Chains A and B, each alone.
Chain A
Amino acid sequence: MLKINDIHKSFGKNEILRGVDLSIDKGDVVVILGPSGSGKTTLLRCINFLEKADSGQAVFGGLQVNLNDASKKDIHTIRQKTAFVFQNYNLFNNKTALENVTEGLIIGRKIPKAEAIDIGKKALDKVGLSDKYNSYPSQLSGGQQQRVGIARAVALNPDIILFDEPTSALDPELVGEVLTVMKNIAKEGTTMLVVTHEMSFAKDVANRVIFMDGGVVVEEGTPHDIFVSPKEERTKKFLKRVLPEDYTFYI
């Protein structure tokens, strides 16, 4: 459904992505792991054109575009098919939770207001925020804000949702509620591409794990492949650093 070919991106002299390929099928939950600075976030941002890649192609459900010089129309089309969940939520501060969810539907997709509100309420119910329709982001905890962020993405009914470290900015006790919501929507068959440091999520929910380092994909496979029998030295080193010693015990 989504194919990325040979994507390159530099910031000044700093080469962040050095030719990454990626292929995602409908219903996949793909987790990208890797040390910070390995280009995971940049990859995600380039797919949604929040960052302009230096070169590379994307094939998205029959639409083929160059990531470095896509037309405004193509960018719009791809953004209509994707949704993005940000590390620091990026909820619209001047809108209520419900308005945050309906904004893209009413303005971006021209869905009638009543229908959009209906969809928005259902999306918020799904993330357990039925009592927060009219709360502004400043009235919500980090975990609640991120759940609104997820509802905002889900409501758009996109072909794929891109998650950029959705729990990294949260207090540890709030991580669980967000991961639970993500697990639920994964179970419903939503296609997801997730950059995260939550190993438990990668292990339990992903059907494919990609390990990136230094701007390239080092290794990819099922969670079992990566966590239990990693082949590459860099993967082993990384896992040793982030996982507790007796991790294999839990698998």
Chain B
Amino acid sequence: MSEGLNYTFLIDTFFIALSGVPITLLVTIVALLIALPLGFLLALTRINQVPVLNWFSRIYVSFVRGTPIIIQIFIVYASVPLILSLFFEKYNININVYNINPIWYAFIVFSFSTTAILIEVFRSALSTVNKGQLEAAQSVGLSNFQAYRRIVIPQALVVALPNICTATVNLIKATSLGYAMSLQEITLKAKVAANVGYNYVEAYIDIFLVYIILCSLVEYGFKLYEKRLRRYKYVSA
């Protein structure tokens, strides 16, 4: 069996793995689009100690941090169809829950877990912006909303960006667990290709390469953006 690597398969499968990138990116982007605003708002409830929501965010964060994503996937993938089918039956809606595209479950799970991480990212970033910035903005007649949008958030974002980048890269990697619910992303596609001739090593190398390329590009993009955002910080006198 020691024939070495099957290079034709290695190259072909690389492109198969690559064809999973759109789904991976779609899940990542949808999760971020939901998690960024939600995480930010919940972070605000923690900083401003909003009665019930503050308490909710705290439990939410420790709940998500304390459970592996794969378990969250199993729970959502197993329980949501049950709940939905009960609901559909009750209201006589004729949809087969088992035909629902798993990408919807992926959206739910990854938004859910990323929100928790971003709550903490934003909470720490917002607390680095001196309270005086908000007060100064109010004193020149800006509303709270304007003060946050124009003064506080741009400064907090600079601090948060490296951590948002880490969260994004972690999210991209975590979507590989989507194979557990047959999400047609990078990992699943390559693994399915490998099943035919047992070329698992080649498939894994391909998966490895695709993720490393994808994540490096994302990291590079964040670096450029960060440089632009923090131009006010390290300008020499």
Contact = CB atoms under 8 A, between A and B. Distances in A.
A131 to B, nearest CB: 12
Contacts of A95: 151, 232
A83 B139 contact: yes
Given A79-B138, A107-B146, A107-B150, A92 B235 contact: no
Nearest to B154: A94
B133 A90 contact: yes
A90 B133 CA distance: 6
B136 A90 contact: yes
Interface in B119-144: 130, 132-133, 135-143
A3 B153 CA distance: 36
A48 B130 CA distance: 19
A76 interface: yes
Contacts of A94: 151, 154-155, 158, 232
Nearest to B136: A90
B237 interface: yes
A76 B133 contact: no
A76 B143 CA distance: 8
Interface residues of B, number: 24
Contacts of B140: 79, 83, 103-104, 108, 152, 156
B228 interface: no
Contacts of B138: 49-50, 79
Contacts of A156: 140-141
B90 interface: no
A84 B136 contact: yes
A136 B230 CA distance: 11
A48 B138 CA distance: 9
Q: Which secondary structure dominates where chain B touches chain A? A: helix
Interface in B180-237: 232-237
A79 B144 CA distance: 13
Given A107-B146, A136-B232, A139-B235, A92 B151 contact: yes
A90 B132 contact: yes
B136 A86 contact: yes
Contact of B235 (A76, A88, A90, A138): A138
Contacts of B141: 76, 79-80, 104, 107-109, 156
Interface string A105-126: 0011100000000000000000
Contact of A93 (B133, B142, B236): B133
A93 to B, nearest CB: 6
A93 B232 contact: yes
Contacts of B236: 139
Contacts of B151: 92, 94-95, 103
A94 B146 CA distance: 14
A209 interface: no
Contact of B142 (A49, A108, A138): A108
A91 interface: yes
Nearest to B237: A139
B148 to A, nearest CB: 12
B232 A48 contact: no
A90 B135 contact: yes
- Return the 5 tightest CB-CB contacts between A and B, nearest first: A108-B141, A104-B140, A90-B132, A90-B136, A84-B139
Interface of B: 130, 132-133, 135-143, 146, 150-151, 154-155, 158, 232-237
29 contacts: A48-B139, A49-B138, A76-B143, A79-B139, A79-B141, A88-B132, A90-B130, A90-B132, A90-B133, A91-B136, A92-B133, A93-B155, A93-B232, A94-B151, A94-B158, A95-B151, A103-B137, A103-B151, A104-B140, A107-B141, A107-B142, A107-B150, A108-B146, A136-B232, A138-B232, A138-B233, A138-B234, A139-B235, A140-B237
Given A94-B158, A136-B232, 18 more contacts: A76-B141, A82-B139, A84-B135, A84-B139, A86-B132, A90-B136, A91-B136, A92-B136, A94-B154, A103-B137, A103-B142, A104-B140, A104-B141, A107-B141, A107-B142, A136-B233, A139-B235, A156-B141
